[in-house]
Structure 1
Amino acid sequence: MDIRRLQAFVKIIDLGSISRAADLLNIAQPALSQQLAALESAFKQKLVIRSKSGVTPTTAGLELYRHAQTLIKQLDRAMVEISSGVGPLVGKVSVGLSPYSAGSTLAVDLLQRVRSRLPGITLHLTESFDDIYSELIMTGRLDMAVIHGSGPIKGVVFTPLMKEDFFLLAPLSLEFPQDSTGAVQLADIVDIPLLVPPKHNFVRSRIDMAFLRKQLKPNIIAEIEALLTLQESIAEGIGSTILPWSVASRIVVPDRSRIYPLRNPVIQEDVSLCIPETVPETEASVAVREQLIDLARAMATSRNWPGTQAS
């Protein structure tokens, strides 16, 4: 089994096209097709389905893609670790940080820590609404990820980091009934225009569930992924949103928007660190994971983060 054939197969699946993969790999398309045919012959399975729009993996192809990702990544790690010899930790560590969560808030602090304490490690940080981080971890494309939820998910190991309460972030011009602690009841915001993440986001699912349990229907006027757009829309009075403190505190605009605690019910979500169950960790990824856990737990116990509790 030639590792280059597996690398080419992964590129074909990533791009969804043999011709595009051939261009990127600087290989003639017939030669790349022959490599794919050799793989299908070796495994005695059809690995892709060809169509006018490109190629899609079969069930067997998806299984090979997952294993190939792991093998390629382990080979890359072995080459880095062996060539570097004894000395400071080196290598690339990829970390997924869930948008609209404390994970994204940790990004800059984590980068600073790694630069000062682990200078031989290159961090790859990603925040994406579209990617399913658990799948990227299982295939070896991510070393770890901070996500909402506590599992279980097959192939992924969860380490609880904290619990986050959600808060209302509203234009300063809006006024709400508040209890003695300054909190706003969910029933009192049912009619205000809400700007929320898309449905596949954990924050959105918790918002929807809270309203459903109170038999209320939220007035959702837009779904917004970009935090800068959300920040300015709220400051301009277009709508309000519901977010964890870690995110709301980053986009509140003094004299234009305000954060309120939410009650009845309290909306809360777990934040966890995920690593692969079967792919071995490198020394570099273990070192980064330890720094990430330390930062998250320091955040959870800080008085600067209301509504956040260590798990």
Structure 2
Amino acid sequence: MDLKQIQYFIALFEDGSVTRAAKRLNIVQPALSMQISKLEAELGQTLFERGPHGMTPTDAARLMYRLYTPIMRDIEHARVQLSRQDVIVTGRVSLGMVASETESVLAESLAKFNALFPQVEVSVADGFSAQLIDGVEAGRLDAAIINKPRGRLALDMQPLLVEEMVYVTGLACRAALPERIDLSSPPAVELVLPTRRNGLRGALDAALMAANIVIKPTFEIDLLSTIVQFVEQSAVATILPRVVVQRKVDEGLLRAHRIGPPPILRHIVQVSHPKRPIGPATQALIDIIAEEIRRVTRSAADES
């Protein structure tokens, strides 16, 4: 049973005629009759007795009308309220994000969101993609922003953006590096990378495997902030999304080199439970975060 079938049922119940109900709904009569037949088959109930003077509702139809008419009024009221420009959005948002985004654009995004929706409470959890997927599945999170998993999910998944990963060094690295790094013949610089539990490492390994390239890091660290500090304070290099390091690059503390061809890309997606649709406040926060990532990476790309 879907919303359209309920609308068709109510129109036929109130008009008592397939001809009049179809005209009211602006559809052809066979389409209306087919939907009512499907509804009766799904419910296992006869809803209308067909006679020479029109459609007479059965007791089951009268009960259905009493039950569903208030629901349809509530849906219409909600539609009107949401279409208003001055609607006040309230409630609570519980969002999960991979650490690469919480450490880079979350603060700015929350400030913008709070200015637009001051009456919405926000809770943000960070972690690995697998942990955040579990949170959405269990209902602890309304939605999550994660690295696109390689396997299939039982969740709804929508692409957000594609982001370039860059080869990053600190000022202590004295190697003469070209503007663009070819990972098939990488520089003689020790590497620190996220561990294999991290979705970023998965995206990197998948891209390297596709290009038949093998690299072996000297160090593997879970915390991205620690990786960035380590690179800043030593002669090691790393490979991370540009958004993670761009602030330090702008401050002159790190150098970012483009990779390729081929480039190394990571795909960011939003996931939600199919039985718990994302609310307007949650979607608004996700949209603001995605736009903030685009702003940071776009400005960096314009300068390079």
Give your verdict on TM over 0.5: yes
Matched residue of 1:110: which SS?
helix
Check conservation: 1:245, 1:306, Cα contact below 8 A.
no
Check conservation: 2:96, 2:144, Cα contact below 8 A.
yes
Candidates 260, 269, 294, aligned match of 1:300 = 294
What is the letter of the counterpart of residue 195 of structure 1? V
Q: What does residue range 191-230 of structure 1 map to in structure 2 within 5 Å?
A: 191-230=188-227
Matched residue of 1:304: which SS?
helix
What is the letter of the counterpart of residue 110 of structure 2? L
Instruction: For residue 254 of structure 1, report the CA deviation from its aligned partner.
Output: 4.5
What is the letter of the counterpart of residue 116 of structure 1? A
Q: 1:114 to 1:253 in 2, by over 3 A?
A: closer
What does residue 147 of structure 1 align with? 146
Distance across 2 between alignment mates of 1:130 and 1:205: 11
Q: 1:241 to 1:266 in 2, by over 3 A?
A: same
Q: Which range moved further: 200-209 or 268-277? A: 200-209
Provide the identity percentage: 20
Distance across 1 between alignment mates of 2:102 and 2:238: 19
Distance across 2 between alignment mates of 1:253 and 1:114: 25
Distance across 1 between alignment mates of 2:203 and 2:142: 27
Q: Deviations over 1:213-260 (max 9, x none)?
A: 444432311222223322221122241110111112134484543110
Instruction: For residue 272 of structure 1, report the CA deviation from its aligned partner.
Output: 1.2
Check conservation: 1:114, 1:288, Cα contact below 8 A.
no
Q: Deviations over 1:26-67 (max 9, x none)?
A: xxxxxxxxxxxxxxxxxxxxxxxxxxxxxxxxxxxxxxxxxx
Q: What does residue range 4-153 of structure 1 map to in structure 2 within 5 Å?
A: 88-100=88-100, 102=101, 104-129=103-128, 132-149=131-148, 153=152
Distance across 2 between alignment mates of 1:155 and 1:213: 26
Instruction: For residue 131 of structure 1, report the CA deviation from its aligned partner.
Output: 5.3
Instruction: For residue 121 of structure 1, report the CA deviation from its aligned partner.
Output: 1.3
Check conservation: 2:148, 2:268, Cα contact below 8 A.
yes
Instruction: For residue 175 of structure 1, report the CA deviation from its aligned partner.
Output: 2.7
What is the letter of the counterpart of residue 288 of structure 1? T
Distance across 1 between alignment mates of 2:264 and 2:162: 10
Matched residue of 2:219: which SS?
strand
Q: 1:300 to 1:293 in 2, by over 3 A?
A: same
Matched residue of 2:256: which SS?
strand
Distance across 2 between alignment mates of 1:212 and 1:150: 16
Matched residue of 1:278: which SS?
coil
Check conservation: 1:107, 1:125, Cα contact below 8 A.
no
What is the letter of the counterpart of residue 203 of structure 2? R
Instruction: For residue 195 of structure 1, report the CA deviation from its aligned partner.
Output: 0.9
Matched residue of 1:124: which SS?
strand
Q: 1:123 to 1:165 in 2, by over 3 A?
A: same
Q: Deviations over 1:58-98 (max 9, x none)?
A: xxxxxxxxxxxxxxxxxxxxxxxxxxxxx843332111111
Matched residue of 1:133: which SS?
helix
Instruction: For residue 147 of structure 1, report the CA deviation from its aligned partner.
Output: 0.9
Q: 1:210 to 1:164 in 2, by over 3 A?
A: same
When the two chains are superposed, the root-mean-square deviation of aligned CA atoms in Å is 2.8
Residue 279 of structure 1 pairs with residue 276 of structure 2: yes
What is the letter of the counterpart of residue 223 of structure 2? A
Say how many residue pairs are matched: 214
